[in-house]
Amino acid sequence: MTKEQARAFVKAEKNKMTPAQIHENSRQIIDRLISQDFFYSADTVLTYVSYNQEVETHSFIDNCLSLGKTVLVPKVYGRDMKFHRITALSELKPGKYGILEPDNTDICEPEQGLMIMPGLAFDKEHHRAGYGGGFYDRYLSRHTQHATVAMALDFQIVETVPSDVYDICPQMLITPTMIYGK
């Protein structure tokens, strides 16, 4: 399976899901994530803001903020992304492609933190097919000390995802039913 085939398969499966199913699966994944010791020990969380039919992160972001964690979300600048600190979801505005992004200038580049990575397809060795822009691979190649976790629906775990030398795999994958890489 090529990355494009993996992406197409996952997109087709996502389209079959209702918003209620995505919400319930997202809740199960986040419950698994926040029950991990590494989550509680992380002072800084860098996370994507869910869009379309991704694992929902809005309640996760609220949870992190209520626990007093520093929450950083991405904003794209050309071919790169930078993370901005937010203190409330209301600080997000629609940006490129309608994806919510920070509407402030509070850019933070911590040396360490818990990075929640998005992706379309993964395999059990943690190879990842993202959306094709390479934003996370470029960012993580410059910021190498982050712990990395990806959240995925069970069908997003496919047989194999081809990997290139520049691809950076999450250290852990969490689905509603499994944790890979504990």
pLDDT in tens, 84-100: 999 999 999 998 778 89
Strand order in the sheet with 172-174: 107-108, 80-86, 70-77, 44-47, 114-117, 147-151, 172-174, 179-180
Per-residue confidence band for 182, with pLDDT thresholds at 50, 70 and 90: low
Mean pLDDT computed over 126-147: 89
Residue 106's identity, in one-letter code, is D
Residue 132: pLDDT over 90: no
Work out the angle at residue 124's Cα, subtended by the Cα atoms of residues 128 and 165, and round it to the nearest 5 degrees. 40
Query: What DSSP character marks residue 161?
Result: -
pTM of the shown model:
0.93
d(CA 126, CA 122): 6
Mean confidence (pLDDT) of the chain: 92
Residue 158: pLDDT over 80: yes
Of 81-90, 104-113, 173-182, give the range with the top mean pLDDT: 81-90
Considering only 31-35, 125-129, 130-134, 152-156, which range has the smallest mean pLDDT? 130-134
